[in-house]
Amino acid sequence: MNRRRRPKAQGLKKEPTGIPGFDEITGGGLPSGRPTLVCGSAGAGKTLFGMEFLVRGATLSNQPGVFISFEETDNELATNVASLGFDLQQLVADKKLLLDYVFIERSEIEETGEYDLEGLFLRLGHAIDTIGAKRVVLDTLEALFSALPNEAIIRAELRRLFRWLKDKGVTAVITCERGEKTLTRYGLEEYVADCVILLDHRVQNQISTRRLRIVKYRGTSHGTNEYPFLIDEQGVAVLPITSLGLNHKASNAFISSGIPRLDAMLNGKGFYRGSSILVSGTAGTGKSTMAAHFIEAACKRGERALCFAFEESQDQIIRNMRSVGIELEKFVRKGLLRFRNARPSAWGLELHLAMIHKYIDEYEPVVVAIDPITNFFTIGDATETRSMLTRLIDFLKIKQITAMFTSLTSTGSELERSEVEVSSLMDAWLLVKNIESNGERNRGFYILKARGIAHSNRVREFLLTDHGIDLIEAPVGPEGVLMGSARLEGNGARRKSRKGTLK
Amino acid sequence: MKTAPKKTSRGKSNGHASPPDGDSRRWNLRLYVAGQTPRSLTAFKNLKEICEEYLKGKYYIEVIDLMENPTLARGDQILAVPTLVRKLPHPIRKIIGDLSDTERVLVGLDIQPR
């Protein structure tokens, strides 16, 4: 979403759609004064795209618009988009919008000889002139093909219609059903050559993702990828999420991990601001608690924190963290902390990324915790997930947001391949490990890497106490690191021996 | 439609019948055209001939020029022109085209069984 556009040599004039993200990928919107084809299968969001184009045009660009509907009545349209906060009735009353429902019933019509569609032209022309419309949506023009018997006439008339719309100088959106082999069922892309947009609604592993692609945009450069898009309570939002590259700034400031002993291990200061931190460990090792410390510390400094939790609900997290002495609820109440909880399978990968983008843009947090990222590997394959995480990290870095990710390693095994892949994206990597010895299970903690920070190489014993995480220096004995009772014993022995030498 | 002197621009053209009243057997026909194109004229001529032959004395034609009254296209949902709308008797029927296929006009108007 960076706007680094070189000034163009007097290019094509564009009309902003006001749809977040869409104007970025098209470099300004739809071609001004020309028709654009929006095709997609049923339920792809064509009508809504058209309607939002008009509503935003009327409210943001002060361009009145005409919506010719071949499928839904004025009332149905108004009801359908009311849930998105579009008040069509008000816009109609203000003469910013004109809705016209064209109903054609095939069974009522008998064809006898030559005709043309001048009636439609006059109707449309009248509607445009009535409110001085600059934008027009025809939804779905292909209804004509099923309503009127003579395809040759319709084709000739549509060709004339597109010409006529251009002459009128209106920016038009024409929606079309997707065809099996062609972009549109009746091959309308032949007539509209300026701009073709494809909306797609794909279900993969039972998870659906909406995607948008600009198939063609004559006379301009545009993003060529498939971009995921959302339809939510504010309408359509396209999320141009590509890798943003490695040109973000690197901060010299530090940010506390929220655990004094951990900060001490990190040269006494903590992590770099804007860095990405991975905490990995087996189940039940206290990764989430570590993230909670990090978040609590940010909130205590008065910085906003956002937590994406994919395993627990907000209440559950607050309750569990309270048991280790981390009070998060008051920060939620103060508006310093927000949770976003969702099951990974709720959406596809791209949509997850899109939602994260959206929430971050809305809330503008200083720190973010994502708990855990390993869950993403359950909904996409390794390449997809890695690509998604790369883009997420790039995005966070550009925003200079310090982020802590937790990652679950399965018990017993060495590091997962996926984890190794992800870790290369991270600036710091902390590891919590269960260590079994002497008939007890203790947690060992060490810093695997911390880019640009002189850090301790020692293994610490990781304790979860009623006041949070404590990292205790674990002495090294002849059998290795001493933890738990062995450490206590070891300490005792040392103290004794120290006493001995003093005497 | 200068060739049809009997009607005005928004035009009401009577066959031979008396002005519209409550006669249930009346055929109330409305012809939508867009300007006085050759096709409009042909359609009107064809309609007139058919009515004279099959509905003599029982019909009433109203010609609407959408060029002059584009708002009226909405009411009867007119897209194609010429369109002939049978307002009465019910139900409404629509016939598009220049009405040159007499056979189909008669079927469309339900004057002849399908």
In a domain, B1, yes or no: no
In a domain, A501, yes or no: no
Do A125 and A269 lie in one domain? The reply is no
Do A326 and A220 lie in one domain? The reply is no
What was the pLDDT predicted at B13? 46
Whether residue B9 has pLDDT greater than 70? no
- Domain span at residue A461 reads 254-495
Q: For all residues of chain A together, what is the average pLDDT?
A: 84
0.80 exceeded by pTM: no
User: Which among B39, B79, B104 has CB closest to A112?
Assistant: B104
- Please report residues of B whose CB lies closer than 8 A to that of A143: none
The more confident residue out of A177 and A350 is A177
Q: How many residues does chain B have?
A: 114
A311 included as an active-site residue: yes
b/e burial code for range A178-199 (CB count within 10 A of at least 16 → b) = bbeeebbbbebbebbebbbbbb
User: Which among B43, B83, B108 has CB closest to A119?
Assistant: B83
Do A217 and A262 lie in one domain? The reply is no
In a domain, A245, yes or no: no
Distance CA A265, CA A122 (A): 77
In a domain, A124, yes or no: yes
Cross-chain Cβ contact A122/B77 below 8 Å: no
The helix/strand/coil state of A192 is coil
Whether residue A121 has pLDDT greater than 70? yes
CA angle (A433 as vertex; A432, A437 as ends), nearest 5: 145
In a domain, A243, yes or no: no
- The stretch A233-238 carries a mean pLDDT of 82
Cross-chain Cβ contact B95/A112 below 8 Å: yes
- The stretch A455-463 carries a mean pLDDT of 86
Q: Residues near A96 by Cβ (< 8 Å), separated by ≥ 6?
A: A58, A59, A64, A65, A131
- Domain span at residue B71 reads 12-108
Cross-chain Cβ contact A112/B93 below 8 Å: no
pLDDT over 90, % of chain A: 34
Provide the ipTM.
Answer: 0.79
Q: Which CATH number belongs to the domain containing residue B66 in this structure?
A: 3.40.30.10
Do A219 and A285 lie in one domain? The reply is no
Do A41 and A161 lie in one domain? The reply is yes
- The stretch A343-368 carries a mean pLDDT of 86
In a domain, B77, yes or no: yes
- Please report residues of A whose CB lies closer than 8 A to that of B32: 119
Do A89 and A213 lie in one domain? The reply is yes
Task: Say whether residue A151 is in contact with chain B using an 8 A CB cutoff.
Answer: no
Do A348 and A491 lie in one domain? The reply is yes
A240-297 residue pLDDT tens: 656 555 667 788 899 999 999 999 999 888 999 999 999 988 888 889 999 999 999 9
Q: How many domains does chain B have?
A: 1
Q: Which CATH number belongs to the domain containing residue A21 in this structure?
A: 3.40.50.300
- Please report residues of B whose CB lies closer than 8 A to that of A112: 95-101, 104-105, 108
Range in A12-16, A161-165, A316-320, A349-353 the model is least confident about: A349-353
A142 included as an active-site residue: no
What was the pLDDT predicted at A459? 85
Q: Residues near A264 by Cβ (< 8 Å), separated by ≥ 6?
A: A456
- For A122, the closest chain B residue by CA position comes to B70
Whether residue A64 has pLDDT greater than 80? yes
In a domain, A94, yes or no: yes
Do A260 and A115 lie in one domain? The reply is no
Q: Residues near A183 by Cβ (< 8 Å), separated by ≥ 6?
A: A37, A39, A176, A189, A196, A198, A215
- Please report residues of B whose CB lies closer than 8 A to that of A109: 94-96
Distance CA A218, CA A194 (A): 5
What was the pLDDT predicted at A418? 60
Cross-chain Cβ contact A110/B96 below 8 Å: yes
In a domain, B5, yes or no: no
Domain end (from A173, A203, A238) = A238
Task: Out of A311, A329, A384, A421, pick the active-site residue.
Answer: A311
Do A224 and A271 lie in one domain? The reply is no
Do A319 and A442 lie in one domain? The reply is yes
Query: Residues B32, B38, B39, B44: is their CA dihedral positive or negative?
Result: positive
- For A99, the closest chain B residue by CA position comes to B74
What was the pLDDT predicted at A501? 44
Q: Which residues pair with A473 in a beta bridge?
A: A460
Q: How many domains does chain A have?
A: 2
Do A207 and A260 lie in one domain? The reply is no
Domain end (from A208, A238, A268) = A238
A189-209 residue pLDDT tens: 777 778 999 998 887 777 777
Whether residue B16 has pLDDT greater than 80? no
Contact A38, A236 (CB under 8 A): no
Contact A279, A406 (CB under 8 A): yes
- The stretch A233-243 carries a mean pLDDT of 72
What was the pLDDT predicted at A328? 93
- The stretch B2-11 carries a mean pLDDT of 40
What was the pLDDT predicted at A246? 64
Cross-chain Cβ contact A119/B79 below 8 Å: yes
Do A195 and A292 lie in one domain? The reply is no
In a domain, B28, yes or no: yes
What was the pLDDT predicted at B113? 65
- The stretch B2-10 carries a mean pLDDT of 40
- The stretch A354-370 carries a mean pLDDT of 90
In a domain, B114, yes or no: no
In a domain, B7, yes or no: no
From residue A65, give the alpha-carbon distance in Å to each of A39, A174, A235: 20, 13, 17
Match 């009309």 to its residue by tokens.
Answer: A15
The helix/strand/coil state of A56 is helix
Whether residue A166 has pLDDT greater than 50? yes
Whether residue A483 has pLDDT greater than 80? no
